[in-house]
Amino acid sequence: MGKERDAVKIIPLGGLEEIGMNITAIEYQDSIIVIDCGLSFPDDDMLGIDLVIPDVTYLKENADKVKGLIVTHGHEDHIGAIPYVEKQINMPIYATKLTMGIIDYKLREHNLINNIKRKVCTYGQIINLGCFRVEFIRTNHSIADSAALAVYTPKGLIIHTGDFKVDYTPVFGGVIDLQRFAELGKKGVMLLMADSTNVERRGFTPSEKTLGTTFDHLFDENRDRRIIVATFASNVDRVQQIVNSAHKYGRKVFVEGRSMVNIMTIATELGYLKIPEGVLLGIDRINEYPGNKEVIITTGSQGENMAALSRIAANIHSKITIVPGDLVIFSSSPIPGNEKAVSKVINELEQKGAKVIYHDTHVSGHACEEEIKLIYTLTKPKYALPVHGEYKHLRKHMELAETMGIPKDRIMIMRTGDVLYVADDVFEIDGKVQAGEVLVDGLGVGDVGNIVLRDRQHLAENGIVVVAISIDKLSKEVLAGPDIVSRGFVYVREAEELIEQCKAVVEETMDIEKAKGYDDYNRLKNAIKEDLGEFLWNKTRRSPVVLPVISEVVI
């Protein structure tokens, strides 16, 4: 870590150079506040991994300074890691009503609901956390109750936009509070941390409400088809518009996908989703109505393997089967990296006779170039720190900030773990803290690292050959084996000759080692690995994992 100076420290522990896993610490002297605590989903090479969460070692080391976690909105990439991190550092949580409703559900799942202080905040409310004061500002996004944060620090005002867009006609709630951004701009903003996701797109992001008309047209044109709509579970406003169109055209709505059911339940209980009486039915009643009177809202718009739509497309769903003529609407755009999985699901659906629509049925929840410029114009920040995006987005955002009149030396692109010092006369990165990815596999958190992943990759690519041998403890004579068992390498019944040759190689290695006197079975195992590995490479040009298992037997 670099030398200390009288400045606020901004420490991103995730969310930079990637879409997802957003978490940022802001620190001054003995106070730290944390903004968001999200997860990301595993890359293709993270075999068997369920989730990726941030490494919060720095927060654990400074737990006595951490005053609270402030959450901007209820998407997984901003709240998904909360239960895992709260088990390590018990932080009070501050969030708006719907966001807290979704967080509460997660905490209940992890049996943490009674251990953690939680406070529901309203727009305009200011909370005091150590030496910081934090104000919630209304914004628009693809989930209701999204907020930007004004963080009042002893060194100046920081504005964090969260994920936002400027939507003058939102489906639920009010319009983004541009007036408050302007008022804060007049007072003087030291640093603006703004969303970069859509910075490469010109113009403005269309209003969520425009999709209501799109759905109405699609429902009108396809009155004789069953309609299936796949979207993000958390996009409550989108679900509302699908329900509105279904009701208008006399259809019953069925919901499939655990996360979709959960969020719709929470949003309905809290009053963010209004479903007319008798429109929403349980999936068990799907066979009571003809297809042209049904709408199925489902998860799986990103082609996720076990999501409802993927199971429907692969014909392995217990209650829903695609019939020729079904209309499937993808109401989302693929997250970078998911294009291949989405394309696979679309192909499977079309092969089964479904008509698939995946263009012009989605609007983004993120600001395009002109909206980002608007926020810069209103807030007039001294310094700019692009957040939320891959490196190319952050770079483009940097160029945009320059066109808005901010000098190049007052704009910073950070990497996860960097420490940025900010004050009226200070703006520099100095030092790094431990940060990175922690892999979650089942109930194991952090017990799968690079070495285990490398082994999984090796096993996936080349398979495994197990050599089983039983040896008399006293005489050191071989009582049984070597037996060769192979998984994912060759089909044993069709490779009997190769297996026999493997046995011969192992027997020869054992004879050589026995002559040396093998008290140390580790040396014998290593010799078998080496010799058999070399033989198999020469014979097959493949390198399976060779696993010798030696059992000592007392007769």
Helices 369-379 and 178-187: angle between axes, nearest 10 degrees: 40
DSSP state string for 394-418: HHHHHHHHHHTT--GGGB----TTE
Two tokens, residue 205:
């992001």
Opening angle at CA 195, ends 424 and 86, nearest 5: 90
SS (H, E, C) 332-392: CCCCCCCHHHHHHHHHHHHHCCCEEECCCCCCCCCCCHHHHHHHHHHHCCCEEEEECECHH
Q: What share of the chain is helix, strand, coil (3-state, %, to 5)?
A: 35, 25, 40
- Which residue from 294, 293, 217 is spatially nearest to 255, judged by alpha carbons? 294
Q: What is the dihedral of CA 186, 187, 192, 193, to 10 degrees?
A: -120
73 is catalytic: no
Which residues on neighbouring strands pair with residue 69, listed in sequence order? 34, 93
Give per-residue burial for 285-313: e unless 16+ CB within 10 Å, then b: ebeeeebeebbbbbbbbbbbeebbbbbbb
Q: Among residues 75, 160, 362, 366, which one is catalytic?
A: 366
Does residue 482 have a cis bond before it (omega within 30 degrees)?
yes
- Integer angstrom CA distances of residue 423 from 143, 152, 543: 33, 12, 56
Q: By three-state DSSP, how is residue 451 classified?
A: helix
Answer for the pair 302, 342: CB distance below 8 angstroms, yes or no. yes
Instruction: Based on the residue annotation, tell me whether 160 is a catalytic residue of this protein.
Output: no
Report phi then psi at 166, rounded to 5: -105, 105
CA torsion, points 504, 505, 508, 513, in degrees to nearest 10?
-140
Catalytic residue among 36, 145, 167, 195: 195
- Number of Cβ within a 10 Å radius of residue 61: 11
What is the C-alpha separation between 242 and 223, in angstroms, rounded?
15
In this structure, are residues 218 and 289 in contact, taking their beta carbons and an 8 Å threshold? no
210 to 98, 128, 142, 146: CA distances (angstroms): 23, 39, 13, 20
User: Looking only at Cα atoms, what is the longest distance across the chain?
Assistant: 89
**How many Å from the N-terminal Cα to the C-terminal Cα in the chain?**
62
Element (H, E) at 100: helix 97-109
369: tokens are 């170039």
How many C-beta neighbours within 10 Å does residue 86 have? 20
| Active-site annotation, residues | 195, 366
